[in-house]
Amino acid sequence: MLLELRGITKRFGPLVANDHIDLVIEPGQIHALLGENGAGKSTLMNVLFGLYEPDEGQIAVDGTPVTFRGPSDALAAGIGMVHQHFMLVPVFTVAESVMLGHESTRGVMLDLDAARAQVRELSARFGFDVDPDARIEDLPVGVQQRVEIIKAMARDAKVLILDEPTAVLTPQETDELIEIMRQLAAAGTSIVFITHKLREVRAVADVITVIRRGAVVGSAAPTADESELAAMMVGRAVLLDLDKAPAQPGATVLSVRDLLVLDRAGTTVVDEVSFDLARGEILAIAGVQGNGQSELAETILGLLPPVAGSIVLEGTELVGKSVREILDHGVGFVPEDRSHDGLVGEFSVAENLVLDLIFDPRFRKPFGVDIAAVQANAQQRIGEYDIRTQGPGQPAGRLSGGNQQKVVVARELSRPLRLFVASQPTRGVDVGSIEFLHRRIVQERDTGTPVIIVSTELDEVSALADRIAVMYRGKIVGMVPGDTPRDVLGLMMAGVPLDEARRQAAENPTTETILKEGDL
Amino acid sequence: MTDELVPDQADAPPAAPPPKDPTEDAAASWLRRVSTGGAMVTVLAFVLALVIGGVLIAAVNPEVTAAAHYFFAKPADFFEAAWRAVSEAYSALFRGAVYDREADTFAKAIRPLTETMTIATPLIIAALGVAVAFRAGLFNIGAQGQVILGASLAGYIGFTWQLPAGIACLVALLGGVLAGGLWAGIAGVLKARTGAHEVIVTIMLNYVAISLLAWFLTTEAFRVPGSAEPKSRTVRPEAQLPLLFGDQYRVTWGFVIAILAAVFVWWLMSRSRIGFQFRAVGFNPAASRTAGISVQRITVYVMLTSGALAGLAGAVQLLGTSKYLTDGIAGTIGFDAITVALLGRSKPLGIFFAGLLYGGLSAGGRFMEVVTGTPISIVLVLQALVVLFVAAPTLVRTIFRIPAPTAELKGATA
Amino acid sequence: MSTVIDDRPVAEAHVVSPRPVLRVPITLAVLSVISLLAFGLGSESGTTSTLALSFRNDAVQLSPLVLNTKGTCLALSVICLAIAAYSFLAAFRFRKTPMWLNALFGVAWVFAFLVWAVEGKSTSLVDLLQGSLLLAVPIAFGAFGGVFCERAGVVNIAIEGQLLVGAFAAAVVASVTDNVYAGLLAAPVAGCLLGLLLALFTVKYAVNQIIVGVVLNVLAVGLTSFLFAAVLKPNAETLNTPPLLEPIAIPVLSSIPVLGPVLFRQTIIVYAMYAAVVVLTIALFRTRWGLRVRAVGEHPEAADTVGIQVNRTRWRNVLWGSSTAGFGGAFFTIGYVGAFGPEMSGGKGYIALAAMILGRWTPIGSLGAALLFGFATKLVSALSVLGTPVPSQFLQMLPYLLTIFAVAGFVGRVRGPAAAGVPYVKG
C-alpha cells in the first residue's frame, strides 16, 4: 500500500504543529521520522491515524485521496499505530485488548476463544511469548508493546506506525524490535518509525525524513552521519558529547546499605541495594524502566518506606524521616514524571518555583507568604535558567516540556544541597534544554554536591556519569566506571553480570557498535 | 481581589507584563473579568434562568392555561395572561428581595433587602466552607450536617452556660466552629486513613446529624422543661448576636461575621502557607507529596476548616436568627451552600455576591408565594439553572451568540 | 480531580507495607466480641425469641420459629469468632478473606443481633425480609443507573434527581391515563430527560460531573416540588391518585416456604430488578457492548484509537443509566405508596451511589449492598415498633453508620473505572 501525505497542516490556535508536510511511504519500507521532542512528529501521526483532522492537506492511499474522520477510518484503511503511551486498558486481558473494537461474537456473546486463538497465532508468527489471558497491568512494558503490535497486526495493518517505540526498551530488546520491524517490512508491511534516537534510525531505516518545528527540513540516507542528522534535527551544530572535567570526588557522604523495598503487592522492587557516594561525584543509575531505579530514588526522598536497610547522609539516617524532613536536610529531588510529581500545572511558574520552599525563611512573613519575595525569586530563576515563559504568573502546565523541567531543576538547585537526586532529568526535553540541564547538573557536582542521576537513556548515562550502577530486577548488577562501553551496559541492563557482559559484548557486538565502528 | 499568590494570567492576553502592585492588579483583574465575559456570562445565565422560570410560571398559571384553550381565537389574551403572570411573580420576587416600592416609609421599603442579608448570612459562611474544600480538591457535601452540629453546640452553650454578654456569644460561636469542624473532620480522617470517599461519608454524616439533633431535642439538656415539643430552650440574651441596624430589621452582626469570614478565607487561600498547601494538594496531590506536603494531614485540615466554617454558619443562624433549636434549624443552608459556592466559583468575593443573590431569591420567593401564589420551589429551579449555565459558559455563549473572549488554546501543547 | 469514583489517592500512592493489612480481620474481631458480650452473654438465660415465618394472609401457615435467645446468640457469636480468626490467619498469609465468608459473617452477626433484640418478644421474619426487599428496589435501580454511567466514565450523582422525576412522572401519567403501566413507562422517560441534561453538560460541555449531578438534584427537587404545589395539589384527584401495581404470584416458585412469598409474590418492578441484575451483568462482562463500555470508562484514549466513539458511548450510557434510575423511581409512587409527595426520594439516590461503590461497580454487588441497606432500614423500623432500650434516633442512624463503616472499613480504597469523572476532550 502506498501512503502519501500531501501538504498536511495542523494548527492549535496560533501554534502551527504541522506546516505543509509532505511524506510518501512506499510499501514494505521502513520510513524513519526523525525529530526532536515537540517537533510535531506525533501530531502528524495523529493526523494520519484520524485522531486529529488536518486544517489543510490530504492523505492519499494508493493514489486515491481519503478522509479519516476517526481512527476507525484509518484502521479500515489498513493503518495501525503503536502509541508512545500504550493504548491498552490495564484491567483487560491480552485477548480482550486485541479484540477491542473489532470483536468477534457468538450470538450476542463475545467470542473470547476466537480472540485467544488469534493472539496465539500472531504470537507464534512473530516469535512472541504472550499469554492471551494475562492481564495487561501485570505485563512488563516490553511485552505490552508486543501486545500493541499484535493488536495492529490482528487488523491486517498494511502501514504500522511506531511512535518512539524504543524509549522503554533495553538495547537488546531494541535489537529484537528492529528485527521484528525488518520481518514485518519483508512481509510487505510499511513501517513509520518515529524517534529522536539517531543510532536506531541509522540501524533500521530505509528512508529518513527529518522534521523540525512542524516542517520537513529534509531527508537523508541511513548512511548519513550522526552529527549531520543531529544538526538537521536541531537546526544547528550540536555537541553530542558534554564537555566535563574529570570528577574530583571528596569525602564519602552518602552510604546506602542493604536497602530493601517492597511494593504494595509485596513484591521486592529494591533488593538489598548498597552503595556509597562521595562529594563532587555523579553516580548514574542505569537500567531499563521498571527495574527498581525509580523506587530507589523515591525511597531516598522518603516517598517510599523501605522494609530494611539504611540511608545515611552526612551522618544522619534518612530512613524513617518524612519527605519534609529529608528535603529540609538538604536533599534536592527531581522526580521522574515532572508533570505528575514535579509541578502543579495550574499553579503559576512563581508558585512552582517555591513549591517545596514555602516554609523557607526567605519566603516567610509573620502572617503568611512573602509574595514580593516569591516574585523576585521567580524573576531571578527565570533569568538564570532561561525559562521561556510569558511571565512568572503563567501557569506552569502551559510551558513546554523543557521549560517545565527547568522550573523543577531551578527550584531544587535554588538552595544549598547535601545531595541532589534527579530521575530522568531530560526525558521529553528538547536538545537545547538537554544541553543546558546537563551543564547545570555538572556545575552542581563541581560545587561539591554529590549527585545521583537515574536514567534509562544510555546517552545520558554516558554523558553525565562518573560512575555507573546498573540495576536489574531491583539489584545492582554491577558498579562500573563512567566510560564503560554501551554494549556492556546494555547487557548488564538485561541482567548479565559484569564479566560475562564484557565477554559477550566482545563476541556479539550490537548493531550500534557495528555502526559506531563503521564510522571510524 | 485576586486569589492566587501570583496573579493568574490564564485568561489574560499573552505576554501581559506582570503587574507589580497587588492592589492595582486586583482592580485590573476585576475589570478584566467583567469585560472579557466572566461577569457577563453570569448575568446572561441569570437572564436565561429567569426566562425558563417564567415559562414555568406561565405554564402553571390557571388564567394562562385558560387563555391557551382559545389561543387561535384570541392569541393576544394568551400572551397578555402569560405576561401578567410572569411579571407579577417576578415583581413580587423583587419586592420581597430588594425594595418594596409599595411600602409606606423608606425604612419599611428596604426591609426586604435586610431580610435578604439575613438569609444570605449563614449561606455565605457555609459556602465559604464548601469552597475551601472544593479548592483543595475535596467535595464537602456534608455542610448540612456540619451546620446542624454547629448550631446544636452553639445553642447548648448559648442557653446553658452563664457567661457575661459578649463573651457568651463568642464562646457559643466558637462552640459552633468546633462542632462543625470536628464533624467534617471525621470525613477527613476517614478519607486520609482509609481512602473512604468524602462524598459518601459526608452525605451519610448528614443523616446521622439529623438523627442526632432529633435525639438532642428529646433530652433534658436541650428541651424546654415541661414541654414535649421537639424544641430547645431559647438562647440567653447575652449569647445572642446583637442586631446590626436596630430593632426594625432582623440583620445581626452575623452579617459582619460573614464578611470577616470571606476576608479570612481570601487570606487563607491566597496568602497563607497552609492555604498554599491546600491548593497544591487540590490541584496535584502527587506533586504536593513530592514537595514534602503531607497529603493526609492536609486532607484532615481541609475538612476541619471547611466544617468549622459550616459550623460557624450554623452558630450564626442560631444565635442571630433562630435563637432556639428545632429539627429544621438548618433549613437547606448546607445544601444551598454547595450551589452558592459553585456559583461564586469558590472565590470569596464571588461567594459573597452569590450568597446575596440566593438570599434575595429566598426572601423574594417567600413574598412571591404569599402575594401571587407562585410556589417558592420555583426559586430552587432558578438557582439550579443559574449554576448550570454559569458552569457551562460555552452554552450561554452559544445561545446568545457571543464570541469567546480569547481563543481557547487547549491542545496547543500536543 | 477525581470524582466520587475516581478515588484520589490521598494516602501514599504506593504505600509499601510489609505488615499484613489487618483492617478487615480487626473489624470482624471487634464485631464478634460485641456479639459475644452484648448479644450472647448479655441476654438472660431461659428467654426465647420468636420469629414468624408466614404472612398473616398466607394460605399455609408455618409455625413460628422459637429460639432460645442466649443459646442462639452464643452459637452465632462463636461462628463469627471463627470467621474472624480465619480472617486473621488469611491476612498473615497475605491473602484476602473470601467475600462469601464476609457475607456469612454479616448474616450470622445480624441474625444474632435480631435474636437478641427480640428477646422475650416476637417479630415476623418474612415481614422483615419482604420489607428489606421492597426498600432495596429503588436503591438497586439507582445503583444500576450509576453502574451504567460510571462504567462509561461519567459519575452520576444525579441518581437522586432521576429517582424523584421518575416517581413524579409515574404518578402523574398513571393518574391521568388511569393505567399503571403507562406510569411505569413514563418513569424511565422522565429519568432520561434529566439524563439528557447530565450528558449535555458533562459530556458535551465537559463541566465537572459532580457539580452537574449536585445541581441537577436541586433542579429535580425544585421542578417536582413546584409542579406539585402548583398543579398536583389543586388537582389531586385527577393528577395524583395513581393506581397501584398489583403483586403477581409466580406459580410454583411463590409456594416455596418462607422465601417463596417474599421473593415471588411481588410487583412487576421487583421482577424487573431480578431481570436487570442478570441482563446487566451479562451485558457488561460478556458482550461486545460491555467490553466497549468498560474500555471507555477505563481508558477512553485507548478506546478512541480502536475506533470506538467515546463520547457517543458516554451519551448513550448516561441516557440508559438515567432511564434505569428513573424506572426505579416509579417504585416510590405506583409501586408502593401511590401519590407523589415532594422530595419523596428522601436521599435514596445518594444511598444508591454508596451501594454501587460498595458493590464495586458490579450489578450483583450493587444489588447486595442495596439489600443490605433495605434490611438495615427495615430492621430499624421493626425494632422501633418493638421498643428497645436504645433511643429510636440512634437506630435510625444505623443504616448510615453502616455505610460509613462499610466504605471506610471494608471497601477502603477501591478501584472504580479509572476514567470516571474525567471528561474526554480530544487532543
Query: What is the tens place of the pLDDT at every residue in A310-350?
Result: 999 999 999 999 999 999 999 999 998 888 899 999 999 99
Alpha-helix runs per DSSP H in A90-197: 94-99, 112-125, 141-154, 171-186
User: Distance between CA atoms of B109 and B98, rounded to whole angstroms?
Assistant: 8
* pLDDT, tens digit (0-9, with 9 covering 90-100), for A18-37: 889 998 999 889 999 988 87
Q: Taking CB atoms and an 8 Å limit, are C210 and B338 in contact across chains?
A: no
Q: What mean pLDDT comes out for the span A194-215?
A: 86
Task: Give the CA angle between residues A454, A458, A459 to the nearest 5°.
Answer: 110
The 3-class SS string of chain B reads CCCCCCCCCCCCCCCCCCCCCHHHHHHHHHHHHHHHCHHHHHHHHHHHHHHHHHHHHHHHCHHHHHHHHCCCCCHHHHHHHHHHHHHHHHHHHHHHHCCCCCCCCHHHHCHHHHHHHHHHHHHHHHHHHHHHHHHCCCCCCCHHHHHHHHHHHHHHHHHHCCCCCCHHHHHHHHHHHHHHHHHHHHHHHHHHHHCCCHHHHHHHHHHHHHHHHHHHCCCCCCECCCCCCCEEEECCHHHCCCECCCCCCCCECHHHHHHHHHHHHHHHHHHCHHHHHHHHHHHCHHHHHHCCCCHHHHHHHHHHHHHHHHHHHHHHHHHHHHCEEECCCCCCHHHHHHHHHHHCCCCHHHHHHHHHHHHHHHHHHHHHHHHHCCCCCHHHHHHHHHHHHHHCHHHHHHHHCCCCCCCCCCCCCC
Q: What mean pLDDT comes out for the span A43-59?
A: 88
Interface test with B, best of A334, A358, A365, A429 (most B CBs within 10 A): A358
Instruction: Please determine, for residue C9, whether its predicted confidence score (pLDDT) is greater than 60.
Output: no
Residue type, C86: Y
Average pLDDT, chain A: 88
Closest CA to B117 of B20, B257, B12, B284: B257
Q: What pLDDT does A239 receive?
A: 59
**Surface of B (65-124) touching C: CB under 8 A:** none
Grid cell at residue A153: 497486526
Strands A451-455 vs A419-423: parallel, antiparallel or unpaired: parallel
Q: Taking CB atoms and an 8 Å limit, are A87 and C299 in contact across chains?
A: yes
Q: pLDDT band at C424, cuts 50/70/90?
A: confident
Residues 6+ apart with CB under 8 A from B285: B137, B295, C8, C9, C10
User: Distance between CA atoms of A349 and B6, rounded to whole angstroms?
Assistant: 9
Q: What mean pLDDT comes out for the span A247-264?
A: 90
More confident site: A122 or A128 = A122
User: Distance between CA atoms of B255 and C223, rounded to whole angstroms?
Assistant: 31
| Gyration radius of chain A's alpha carbons | 24
Residues 6+ apart with CB under 8 A from B335: B143, B144, C218
Element (H, E) at C196: helix C180-199
Interface test with B, best of A298, A321, A341 (most B CBs within 10 A): A341
Task: Give the CA angle between residues A304, A306, A307 to the nearest 5°.
Answer: 140
User: Distance between CA atoms of A318 and A311, rounded to whole angstroms?
Assistant: 5
CB < 8 Å to C291, chain A: 96, 99-100, 103, 110
Top mean-pLDDT range of A155-164, A228-237, B402-411: A155-164
Within 10 Å of residue A207's Cβ, how many Cβ atoms?
17
Average pLDDT, chain B: 85
Q: What pLDDT does C411 receive?
A: 61
Q: pLDDT band at A380, cuts 50/70/90?
A: very high
Q: pLDDT band at C405, cuts 50/70/90?
A: confident
Please tell me the distance in Å from C126's CA to the nearest CA on chain A: 38
Complex ipTM value: 0.84
Grid cell at residue C113: 443481633
- Locate the chain B residue with the closest alpha carbon to C416: B197
Please tell me the distance in Å from A407's CA to the nearest CA on chain C: 24
Q: pLDDT band at A107, cuts 50/70/90?
A: confident
Instruction: Please determine, for residue C54, whether its predicted confidence score (pLDDT) is greater than 70.
Output: yes
Q: Which chains touch B (3 or more CB pairs under 8 A)?
A: A, C
Q: Is A103 left (phi over 0), alpha (psi -120 to 50) or beta?
A: beta
Buried residues in C321-342 as b, exposed as e (16+ CB within 10 A): bbbbbbbbbbbbbbbbebbbbb
Q: What pLDDT does A514 receive?
A: 46
Grid cell at residue B25: 492588579
Instruction: Please determine, for residue B29, whether its predicted confidence score (pLDDT) is greater than 80.
Output: no
Does the CB of A411 have a partner CB in chain C at under 8 Å?
no
Grid cell at residue B220: 433534658
Alpha-helix runs per DSSP H in A280-370: 293-301, 323-328, 349-352
CB < 8 Å to C342, chain B: 377
Q: Taking CB atoms and an 8 Å limit, are A12 and B411 in contact across chains?
A: yes
**Do the beta carbons of residue C317 and residue C303 sit within 8 Å?**
no
Q: pLDDT band at C215, cuts 50/70/90?
A: very high
Instruction: Please determine, for residue A518, whether its predicted confidence score (pLDDT) is greater than 80.
Output: no
Q: What number of H helices and E strands is found in chain C?
A: 16, 5
- Locate the chain B residue with the closest alpha carbon to A45: B414
More confident site: A171 or C113 = C113
Q: What pLDDT does B1 receive?
A: 39
Give the strand order in the sheet containing A79-82.
A79-82, A159-163, A190-195, A30-35, A207-212, A215-220
Q: Taking CB atoms and an 8 Å limit, are A367 and B18 in contact across chains?
A: no
Phi, psi dihedral angles at C345 (to 5 degrees): -75, -20
- Locate the chain A residue with the closest alpha carbon to C11: A303
User: Distance between CA atoms of C115 and C50, rounded to whole angstroms?
Assistant: 8
Instruction: Please determine, for residue C15, whether its predicted confidence score (pLDDT) is greater than 60.
Output: no
User: Distance between CA atoms of A25 and A190, rounded to whole angstroms?
Assistant: 7
Q: pLDDT band at C427, cuts 50/70/90?
A: low
Q: What mean pLDDT comes out for the span B115-139?
A: 94
Grid cell at residue B238: 447575652
Q: Taking CB atoms and an 8 Å limit, are B218 and C393 in contact across chains?
A: yes
pTM (2 decimals)? 0.86
Q: What pLDDT does C412 receive?
A: 54
Q: Taking CB atoms and an 8 Å limit, are B203 and C197 in contact across chains?
A: no
Chains A, B: CB contacts within 8 A come to 133
Does the CB of A264 have a partner CB in chain C at under 8 Å?
yes
**Do the beta carbons of residue A200 and residue A166 sit within 8 Å?**
yes
**Do the beta carbons of residue A275 and residue A283 sit within 8 Å?**
yes
Q: Taking CB atoms and an 8 Å limit, are A96 and C298 in contact across chains?
A: no
At what angle are helices B62-69 and B75-97 packed, to 10 degrees?
170
Q: pLDDT band at C410, cuts 50/70/90?
A: low
Instruction: Please determine, for residue A398, whether its predicted confidence score (pLDDT) is greater than 90.
Output: no
Q: pLDDT band at A69, cuts 50/70/90?
A: confident
DSSP-based three-state secondary structure for C208: coil
Q: What mean pLDDT comes out for the span B342-358?
A: 92
**Do the beta carbons of residue B314 and residue B156 sit within 8 Å?**
no
Instruction: Please determine, for residue C16, whether its predicted confidence score (pLDDT) is greater than 50.
Output: no
Please tell me the distance in Å from B391's CA to the nearest CA on chain A: 19
Q: What pLDDT does B11 receive?
A: 35
Q: What pLDDT does A486 receive?
A: 83
Q: Which chains touch A (3 or more CB pairs under 8 A)?
A: B, C
Looking at CATH, the fold of the domain delimited by C126-378 is given as: ABC transporter involved in vitamin B12 uptake, BtuC (1.10.3470)
Q: What is the DSSP letter of A485?
A: -
Q: Taking CB atoms and an 8 Å limit, are C307 and A71 in contact across chains?
A: yes
**So where are chain C's domains?**
23-120, 126-378
Residues 6+ apart with CB under 8 A from C145: C156, C159, C162, C191, C321, C322, C323, C324, C325, C326, C328, C352
**Surface of B (3-42) touching C: CB under 8 A:** none
Q: What pLDDT does A254 receive?
A: 95
Q: What mean pLDDT comes out for the span C172-177?
A: 95
User: Distance between CA atoms of A492 and A484, rounded to whole angstroms?
Assistant: 11
- Locate the chain B residue with the closest alpha carbon to C198: B388
Top mean-pLDDT range of B329-343, C174-188, C233-247: C174-188
Instruction: Please determine, for residue C12, whether its predicted confidence score (pLDDT) is greater than 60.
Output: no
CB < 8 Å to C409, chain B: 194
DSSP-based three-state secondary structure for C110: helix
Q: pLDDT band at C269, cuts 50/70/90?
A: very high
Q: Taking CB atoms and an 8 Å limit, are B287 and A355 in contact across chains?
A: yes
Q: Taking CB atoms and an 8 Å limit, are A88 and C299 in contact across chains?
A: yes
**Do the beta carbons of residue B369 and residue B376 sit within 8 Å?**
yes
Q: Taking CB atoms and an 8 Å limit, are C288 and A101 in contact across chains?
A: no
Q: What pLDDT does C39 receive?
A: 85
Instruction: Please determine, for residue B411, whether its predicted confidence score (pLDDT) is greater than 70.
Output: no
Q: pLDDT band at B413, cuts 50/70/90?
A: very low
User: Distance between CA atoms of A22 and B152, rounded to whole angstroms?
Assistant: 73
User: Distance between CA atoms of B377 and C226, rounded to whole angstroms?
Assistant: 5
Q: Taking CB atoms and an 8 Å limit, are A351 and B271 in contact across chains?
A: no
Please tell me the distance in Å from C343's CA to the nearest CA on chain B: 11
Q: Which residues pair with A34 in a beta bridge?
A: A195, A210
Q: What pLDDT does C20 receive?
A: 67
Please tell me the distance in Å from C313's CA to the nearest CA on chain A: 13
